Structure 1
């Protein structure tokens, strides 16, 4: 009986040990969450792998085992957060809605996401752009995807509005770059002003942009004085 009880207890202990093992994806998510928070609040250079490991509740060797190096960890953070932001904007836009509704839904999703994830936005907007070229290239690739999405949105709406298939792609792309740049700048400002809700920031940019875009949709582009 004693032998059987001991064996049973050993089996239960082994089961408890197995239950403590997390799937790799879950463990990596914990590490990335801790890394984004640390990089976002302290900056890439000031952040240490020790504090990231401590915040994630794992050992530093385990962080290196999963994510190789500080550079690889930071790159993984950039890619994850950029993908999450892009997906938030894309999923909020109904392609069958009117042009102004599409733009409004996209802007609101953008500002809501950056407000809810300030550390992630700091990584993308501040840290990755200033630390070094490999990281800046990662952010620029993600930004290019959003610009392409906005370019298609503006171009399709403008051409449909005044039935002009010859509207230059370069003009539309320039508008998209200007709009995305304004959104990035405004989000950086709004995240330092706790009294500015995401919806208000989106409305500010919508009012600023749509006055011009609305005329473009109606075939009334502004021209410089002669």
Structure 2
């Protein structure tokens, strides 16, 4: 009876069911261990139907990466209101990032653990997502620099700092999200607050022109 119902579903709904099942299976079992039989059973469809709609296991995994990456980026971008002060924008983006990864642990496992460890073309898909997030964060930090007047004082130095800080912040967020989801030691809001305190306190001093020196 389940198969009969699935045949009456619109194609988009059926594909979403199969993708949901694939993300759960890949996230929990890993790319190598996951089988198309498991994915089909979890989705309530036949294995030939999975192949018909989503082709090979490699293409299915790539589609999962793209979908989860797009959803994460959309969640972060949607949370940030351009009219807010720079610190509130950054807080909103971080909170959205950690909340999304906490609410979609299988999707985050696909992006953060599975895709990165199985080489091309999967790693390239995740790298593209990361570049997009870094670009977005770069814009947020650049806004903070402009508000503080740092960019007007030394535009070249500010641009260099902004690029490096964005890379560092995204890397820290990824690492903290992985720890948060693996251990459950903190909530999404607590993780966001931890990184916000770590980053913004340093950013605040930098925007004032205070710089650490090894000399």
Q: Tell me which interval the TM-score lies in, with the shorter structure as reference length.
A: over 0.9
1:20-59 superposed matches below 5 A:
21-59=8-46
Other-structure match for 2:205: 215
User: After superposition, what is the alpha-carbon deviation per residue over 1:154-201, rounded to whole angstroms, capped at 9, x for unaligned?
Assistant: 012112212533144232111001000000000000001224110001
Structure 1 residue 110: Cα displacement: 0.4
Q: Secondary structure at the match of 2:183?
A: coil
Q: Is the 8 A contact 1:161 1:219 kept in 2?
A: no
Gapped runs of 5+ residues in structure 2?
none
CA RMSD of aligned residues (A): 1.5
Q: Secondary structure at the match of 1:133?
A: coil
Measured in 2, the distance between the counterparts of 1:20 and 1:130 equals 36
Structure 2 residue 211 is matched with structure 1 residue 201: no
- Report which of the two structures shows the higher radius of gyration computed on alpha carbons: 1
Other-structure match for 1:189: 179
Structure 2 residue 60 is matched with structure 1 residue 76: no
Other-structure match for 1:63: 50
Under a length normalisation based on structure 2, what TM-score does the superposition of the two structures give? 0.93
Measured in 1, the distance between the counterparts of 2:86 and 2:63 equals 34
Structure 1 residues 44 and 20, CA, compared in 2 at 3 Å: closer, same or farther? closer
Q: Is the 8 A contact 2:69 2:111 kept in 1?
A: yes
Gapped runs of 5+ residues in structure 1?
1-16
Measured in 1, the distance between the counterparts of 2:171 and 2:98 equals 13
Structure 1 residues 60 and 20, CA, compared in 2 at 3 Å: closer, same or farther? closer
Measured in 1, the distance between the counterparts of 2:214 and 2:171 equals 26
Other-structure match for 1:8: none
Segment drifting more, 166-175 vs 82-91:
166-175
For these two proteins, the number of residue pairs brought into alignment is 209
Measured in 1, the distance between the counterparts of 2:207 and 2:20 equals 42
Structure 1 residues 217 and 51, CA, compared in 2 at 3 Å: closer, same or farther? same
The runs of at least 4 aligned residues of structure 1 exceeding 6 Å deviation read none
Under a length normalisation based on structure 1, what TM-score does the superposition of the two structures give? 0.89
Structure 1 residues 19 and 80, CA, compared in 2 at 3 Å: closer, same or farther? closer
Other-structure match for 1:91: 78
Q: Is the 8 A contact 2:94 2:192 kept in 1?
A: yes
